[in-house]
Amino acid sequence: MNYLNQIISDNIGWFHFITAILALVAGTIVILNPKGTTFHKRIGYIYVASMLSLNISSFFLVNFGGFSIFHFFAIVSLVTVLGGMISAWSRHKNWLTSHFYFMSWSVVGLYAALWSEIGTRFVKNMQDFWWMVALATFITVGIGAKIINKQAKKLKLK
């Protein structure tokens, strides 16, 4: 726990960390279980609530002197989560396809952030920091794209 206290210095940091863990757990459960069930919807709402909390809390964290690329990605994350939910709520013509892609990319983005965060703990300088963020993000997005496309074909969305 001492190590976490070194990298999480205040209450908003702890809130951000806890909502991230909750989002990772809920997102993974949703991905690994059948879609459209009551269970999917309940865990999905936990995912959405935790992602909204996680992303909003990120704007109260300032590590690079102000608005940074991480805040930009928090906005992208908010758009994907809201896009997925608006699709499900509105039930427009292609709502299922929109919901699937928005929410799937939301989870991929969350995992990209996780691997970037973990990876940066092993570097010693800012140049390596940015390379680690880029590497973790590109690898996660590449793997995520393959999984999403395979699942979309399986669900006959593609």
Residues 6+ apart with CB under 8 A from 10: none
| Domain that includes residue 36, residue range | 2-154
Looking up tokens 């809920």 gives 26
- pLDDT at position 4, please? 55
What is the average pLDDT across 92-108? 95
- Encode pLDDT of 134-148 as tens digits: 899 999 999 999 999
CA distances from 14 to 4, 58, 85 (A): 9, 11, 26
What is the band of 71 on the pLDDT scale with cuts at 50, 70, 90? confident
Domain count, the chain: 1
- pLDDT at position 5, please? 57
Q: What is the mean pLDDT of the chain?
A: 89
Considering the entire predicted model, what is its pTM? 0.87
